[in-house]
A and B are shown apart, each in its own frame.
Chain A
Amino acid sequence: MHPAPSIIAFTVLSGLGLGLLAFLGLGVATPTGLAAFFWFGLGYALTLAGLAFSAFHLGHPERALKAFSQWRTSWLSREAVLVTAALIVMAPHAAGLVFWGRPLIWFGAIGGMLCLQTVLATSMIYAQLRSVPRWSHWTTPAVFLLAAVSGGALLLGLTIAAQLLLAWLGLALVLHWVLGDRRFAASGSDLGTATGLGARGSLRQLEPPHTGQNYLLKEMAYVVARKHALKLRVIALVLGCLVPSALLWVAPYTVISAIAAALMHVLGMAVARWLFFAEAEHVVGLYYGRRP
């Protein structure tokens, strides 16, 4: 699948923002006054920046409001509804802490749950696609949810929670990669089932249907050199999980170490998200003679 920068930025940034807001809403951290303004501001800013990036991905962003209508069937629509609800419900809680130093726990709790459900909805957009076997697996929501909450814990400097969650995130990433490598074969789709000619004998593409590029090839049969896949997985794991975790061990929670850990984590997650798309094979590639 084509690793569109807008979608990578969207899922990484809004995931981080929603993870942060979830902790603030659920009362794990209750800053007040200016500190509350900063933390809630950061959470809202990251989430909204991510959403703005996602709009770049649309052919007709001016019609985006229509995407709120199909929440009964579409995970993408649910994501839109949930993120809006989360940001609205969280607002009184945030205002209470900023202006009066008092949490509105019900708004916070419901808002926090909505934040996590938004991340779940985002992950289900990918996990629901049978046509992309690597994604259609429980490790997809596991990675998205753990990435969001570990990022949130890391930003807030919740040392123990962050280290536990980063370890779980690392495990989920490794499982997503290792189990994911077998998903295509397990899906049962090959050129034989795609054409219905599999029982006849061995099959190969003789002529492609067109000599140039097309939308399908660019978007879904995207192929990038897999030469560095293993190195990039290691980089994602080291930057996204190990380095932030180690920084929390060795350095006490200072502004510098917190920023460094958060930046490393975001960089690592951006690499992991790039791999999430670039390594995912769509079954339509079979028609073009692509083999996973």
Chain B
Amino acid sequence: MTALPESTERKLGLVIDLDTCVGCHACVVACKGWNTENYGAPLSDVDAYGADPVGTFLNRVHSYEVTPPDAAPMVVHFPKSCLHCEDAPCVTVCPTGASYKRTEDGIVLVNESDCIGCGLCAWACPYGAREMDALAGVMKKCTLCVDRIYNENLLEEDREPACVRTCPSGARHFGDLADPESAVSQLVVDRGGIDLMPEQGTRPINKYLPPRQRDALPVAPLQTPEPSTAGLDGFLGWIDRTLTRF
């Protein structure tokens, strides 16, 4: 049954630092690469070299401009993938049981051989985390690289999601958010990590660290005032007064 587990032993997830992300899209490429070459149906592209390319991605980086009322505008790069919600609406709507949340680590997965490709789970997700693969006809989503994180054939340092492993700016962190002592939980506490769209009632596991406040520019006149001869005295004052007469 695609009922959600009442609680999960661990809550594996990502903590994404919006202060550090430089918007290079390396995580997008690493994700696409790993999830095309490994578990499940490959993430297909249609018309990849044509005029209108379309493809399946599990992770995408948006870019926004924030303009505070009293400071200079700021660019925020915003990577978005499945948030592995505790109250995942995508799981309970699934008619076949293909969509499920694991009790042991909280990862939300799709059993592709049970998926009928109805698309209802993608409708139910407020975050746009699920994409139907155009060629395979099944729903694709972030697996939190479940085939990497437990994979004993990989080196210890590679046992984390491909997006985290590849991030050159250290903006992505992976860990157990159920453990208050874990590095990711500490980061969330220290930096005031937030949920996306809390009003949707999904209780996401992934957290976002808001950008740190920028240093304020020292208040300085941007331009020197218009040149003026007011208040000149001495020799220059005499020239000014003399020339003004003519």
Contact = CB atoms under 8 A, between A and B. Distances in A.
A188 B199 contact: yes
Interface string A118-140: 00000001001111100000000
Contacts of A204: 64-65, 67
A201 B68 contact: yes
A80 interface: yes
Given A74-B93, A188-B199, A195 B64 contact: yes
Contact of B95 (A57, A80, A288): A80
Contacts, number: 196
B126 A283 contact: yes
Contacts of A210: 57, 60
B15 interface: no
B63 A219 contact: no
Interface string B102-128: 000000000000111111101111111
A131 to B, nearest CB: 4
A205 to B, nearest CB: 6
Nearest to A68: B95
A215 B56 contact: yes
Contacts of B94: 70, 73-74, 76
B115 A60 contact: yes
A254 interface: no
Contact of A64 (B65, B89, B116, B127): B116
Interface string A46-80: 00000000000111110110110110111111001
A63 B114 contact: yes
B53 interface: yes
B118 A287 contact: no
A291 to B, nearest CB: 14
A107 to B, nearest CB: 27
A219 B201 contact: no
B93 A75 contact: yes
A203 B97 contact: no
Given A74-B92, A130-B200, A284-B128, A59 B115 contact: yes
5 pairs of A and B residues whose beta carbons are closest in the complex: A59-B117, A59-B137, A201-B68, A284-B128, A209-B60
Interface of B: 1-3, 18, 23, 28, 52-57, 60-69, 71, 74-76, 78, 80, 89, 92-98, 114-120, 122-128, 131-132, 134, 136-138, 194-201, 208, 210-211
17 contacts: A59-B117, A60-B138, A63-B116, A69-B95, A74-B2, A74-B93, A125-B93, A130-B201, A131-B89, A195-B76, A200-B68, A209-B28, A212-B53, A212-B54, A214-B54, A214-B57, A283-B126
